[in-house]
Amino acid sequence: MPKFVPLGNEALAQGALDAGLSGMYSYPGTPSTEIMEYIRLAPDAAERRVHREWSANEKTALEAALGMSYAGKRAMVAMKHVGLNVAADPFINAAFTGANGGLLVVVADDPSMHSSQNEQDSRTYGRFAFIPVVEPSNQQEAYNLPFYAFELSEKYSVPVMVRLTTRLSHSRADIERGDAIPENALKLPADLTRFVLMPAVSRQRYTRLLGLQSDFEAEAERSFLTRYEDGDNNSLGIIACGIAYNYLRENYPAGCPYPVLKIGQYPLPKRLVERLVEENEAILVLEEGAPLVEDMLRGYPFDAGSIHGRLDGTLPRTGELNPTLVARALGLEAGSRTFDVPEDVIAARPPKLCDGCPHGDTFLALNEALEPYSKGRVFSDIGCYTLGVLPPYNAVNSCVDMGASITMAKGAADAGLTPTVAVIGDSTFTHSGITGLLDAVNANSPLTVIIMDNLATAMTGGQPAPGGGHLEGIVQGVGVPAEHIRLITPLPRQHDTNVAVMREELAHEGVSVIIARRECIETAKRRRRSAS
Amino acid sequence: MKYDMILCGVGGQGVLSIAAVIGVAAVDNGLHLKQAEVHGLSQRGGAVESHLRLSDQPIYSDLIPAGSADMLLSMEPMETLRYVPFLSGEGTIVADNNPFVNIPNYPDLGTIITTLERYPRVVLVDAEGIATEMRAKRSSNMVLLGAASVFMPLSPESLEAAIGTIFGRKGEAVIEQNVAALRQGRAVAQAQTG
Ligand SMILES: Cc1ncc(C[n+]2csc(CCOP(=O)(O)OP(=O)(O)O)c2C)c(N)n1
Ligand code: SF4
């Protein structure tokens, strides 16, 4: 077999394919994107005709995966952490219906917010939904995991969450592949009412789910992702969750002197945790993300001060862990650093719009069209165009969650701020802007929506945009009058025309939509390259 | 054997291609490899870094601890300074001395270069100039890798073979150009370090 050096995301993707995956669903989002990208290009996925189209958003993706699971096949859905906020409704309810074919919900968290608007720990969601969560610590575990997790899901007819973090998602390592197993046959659930969450059914399902919790704990104790490692020095016992285990071992190449409980599955392997706490004087909890396990151990208000981690300052309260921080928490000195760096010769280098990006031309026109009005009336959204907040544009005033530009602008317009502008990307518009536009149309809110249609989901690497080329029809179907749907081409030579169109629509006291359409430079380049 | 490298530069400069070539060469040599990459927002013209670790033993952390990298390989002089805290006391810096100026407050280049030259093991290379002279402007990352190869535990032959693997789909001419750039970078660094 050829050498395989995948990213953590790719290892998981190949593992899922080899474990009989029939359907993969996703909406892009860093750091989860490469899972679907890998499966889209994988020759074995093409040969087997594994379903692998991008979805319009995370909620539609998760629901489609649940449908495939209903039909008895193995399905996986992947998203970034905030994507699970969007998909939270089907996620929680799928724990009630349960799975039929194995169902894995993969969520990649981004501690330190390398490419995200917030930091949240998806293990909390797993606990909230009362389902098992598995967390690989390295690429080999990520590859092996789907074989195990699909089986776990089918054994208890329950969805299983797979939690990743940026560092594992985006790091490569050499790993070994196993033998592929066949896909499931089509097979509906034996009980055809259990997916009907009416109160009478839901109450039964809830009781069943809660009844499974001790089984899930026992599974976590036996899991290949969990390990109790003895140590001679009982002054400290260490809990190392997920990737934090690597940083611990990095600091003790020859073996850790303290007992270590490596945790890769939740709900917590209770008896192993109890053993660690009983046998050691103090506990140090190393976990990537929020201090979830630490908080559970502390047992407010009886904390005797023997639990250390992010909550008592032994480790930073927020952000990504690394071997240096873990070394400090253990009282060790990492590395042999001797070199000083004068701070004043290093400037920050923030990301920016590419040269010639269509969004830049749209912002220049918008800034000019808004000159007669006071500042602070442009609600924006998430995508490359969020970079319009930076100089030289200084063009936008908000970026909260996908779709929030239109709805926040509507609220501000309702409050009397006119004109108000919403600036939203084409992919974000189809992700969750359409429903907000419908609200604005129904209320006839005085609002100008600019859809930055670069024919791509650019920020995450140029995936196809689900509304590609037919946004006018969507907008008209929602009820925006045809005369207030305007198409412009964001190019320097069109600047004056574009400013004029924007001025006209800003003056209109109802909903207008301006579609600024020009392809993203990067995807255009790539298309030309692959054509030549 | 264990060899830790920080690769850095600006999004779009080809840092990840350097990492990919080293990765293939390492695995072909039967070494273990871990390589943490940057994807997402900072690829848009921001600072990018990659931690690359080679070892004949299993590797735990995907990230290199502060103060322990053997090599800091940088496509850009100011970016080099940003990652110096990762370098061990015995570590080597190999850096392109051509600035990539895409920010209004880029510091004085002279100060950056003198700061860099104060470190004990540093090789500054005009990789961009060398690549341009060879009519292979896009291969300046391979010039730099060639210069770094003087210090690395991988043979030049295995790096050349890896270039063949990585650029295979782009055709013979691209492979040859990159191999030539690698050789030229190596020769320049050898001349500089005697
Ligand atoms: C709920 C959620 N899902 C995914 C993302 C990741 N994400 C950020 S920007 C973006 C793409 C936006 O594409 P588009 O609106 O077309 O703007 P472009 O980047 O193309 O300018 C995605 C998928 C996110 N931040 N939140
Ligand atoms: S990737 Fe495309 S949309 Fe994003 S900044 Fe570059 S040109 Fe603009």
Residue-wise pLDDT tens digits, A15-44: 999 999 999 999 999 999 999 999 999 999
Calculate mean pLDDT across residues A448-459.
Answer: 96
Q: Classify A358-526 by CATH class.
A: alpha beta
Task: Tell me the chain B residues in contact with residue A250 when contact means C-beta distances shorter than 8 Å.
Answer: 60-61, 65
Instruction: Find, among A212, A230, A214, A207, the residue nearest to A270 by Cα.
Output: A214
Residue from A118, A121, A122 nearest A77 by CA = A122
Supply the DSSP string of A177-206, one letter for each residue. Answer: -----PPPPP---SSTTTT---HHHHHHHH
Pocket test for ligand 2, best of A522, A525, A527, A528 (most atoms within 8 A of CB): A522
| pLDDT tens-digit readout, B36-90 | 988 766 667 788 999 999 999 999 999 999 999 999 999 999 999 999 999 999 9
Question: Strand, helix or coil at A40?
Answer: helix
CA pair distance A370, A367, nearest whole angstrom: 5
Sheet holding B47-55, edge to edge: A171-173, B32-36, B47-55, B2-10, B69-74, B87-96, B122-125
Top pLDDT among B37 and A148 is at A148
Residue A459 is predicted with a pLDDT of 94
Strand residue runs (E) in A358-442: 378-379, 420-425
CATH of domain A3-186+199-211: 3.40.50.970
Nearest to A269 by CA among A211, A223, A309, A310: A223
pLDDT value of residue A157: 98
What is the per-residue pLDDT for A339?
Answer: 77
Q: How far apart are CA B112 and CA A298, in angstroms?
A: 49
Q: pTM score, two decimals?
A: 0.96
> What's the pLDDT at A301?
61
Enter the ipTM.
0.94
3-state secondary structure of A484: helix
**Domains along chain B?**
2-103+116-193 (3.40.920.10)
Interacting residues of A69 by C-beta distance below 8 A, sequence separation 6+: A75, A99, A100, A101, A102, A103, A159
Tell me the CATH class for A227-329: alpha beta
At residue B136, the 3 state secondary structure works out as coil
By the 8 A CB rule, do A379 and A420 touch?
Answer: yes
The closest of A81, A92, A34, A31 to A58, measured between CA atoms, is: A81
Size of interface A-B (CB pairs under 8 A): 160
Measured from the Cα of A432, ligand 1's closest atom is 1
| pLDDT exceeds cutoff 70 at A334 | no
Residue B102 has which token pair?
A: 């895409």
Beta strand pairing status for A485-488 and A511-517?
parallel
Residues of B in Cβ contact (< 8 Å) with A5: 23-24, 27, 33
Torsion angles phi and psi, residue A527, rounded to 5? -65, -40
Ligand 2 neighbours by CB, cut-off 6 Å: A 353-354, 357, 359, 384, 454, 458, 520-522; B 44
> How confident is the model at residue B43, as a pLDDT?
66
Are A33 and B64 inside 8 Å of each other by CB?
Answer: no
Peptide bond connecting A392 to the previous residue in cis, omega within 30 degrees of 0: yes
Q: Is the pLDDT of residue A419 over 60?
A: yes
pLDDT at A333 (0 to 100): 79
pLDDT value at position A532?
A: 67
C-alpha distances out from residue A384 to A89, A352, A524, Å: 28, 8, 15
**Range(s) within chain A of domains with CATH label 3.40.50.970:** 3-186+199-211, 358-526
pLDDT at A337 over 80: no
Closest CA to A218 of A159, A263, A161, A266: A266
The nearest CA of chain B is from the CA of A155 a distance in Å of: 32
How far is it, in rounded angstroms, from Cα B93 to Cα B16? 18
CB contact (8 A) between residue A115 and residue B40: yes
Indicate yes or no: CB of A345 within 8 angstroms of CB of B102.
Answer: no
Instruction: Give pLDDT, residue A300.
Output: 65
